[in-house]
Amino acid sequence: FNFYYTLRFLKTINPNNFVLPEKMTYPIFVGVGESDELFSIESTKAFFEEIPSETKEFAILPGAKHAHFEENSFDPLFNWIKNTFNI
């Protein structure tokens, strides 16, 4: 948990712009950094489980923090895009 990120985030968001998970029916990839300071793996997984989309994937990004990513952290996302959209 990082209080600085939380305060900065809360000052910049408009809660009316958020989509509730039960309305997400499109393909979606949800990833969380292995060392994320803002969102826990458990809370992110719980959010993911609420999404009704039939095309969804959850990944823990190795070595990644909330805004810092190790080399190859994005491989799960890139692979999902390739497989989901036949790119």
Among the listed residues 75, 78, 52, the one whose alpha carbon sits nearest the alpha carbon of residue 62: 75
Residue spans per domain, the chain: 3-7+25-85
Question: What would you report as the CA-atom Rg of the chain, rounded to the nearest whole angstrom?
Answer: 14
Residue 50, token pair as written in the block = 């609420």
For tokens 């910049």, the residue is 12
Query: Quick check: helix, strand or coil at residue 13?
Result: coil
Tens place of pLDDT per residue across the chain (87 aa): 455 556 666 667 666 666 677 888 899 999 999 999 888 999 999 999 999 999 999 999 988 988 887 888 889 999 999 999 998
pTM, two decimals, is: 0.74
Which residues lie below 8 Å from residue 72, measured CB to CB, with a gap of 6+?
62
User: DSSP label at 18?
Assistant: P
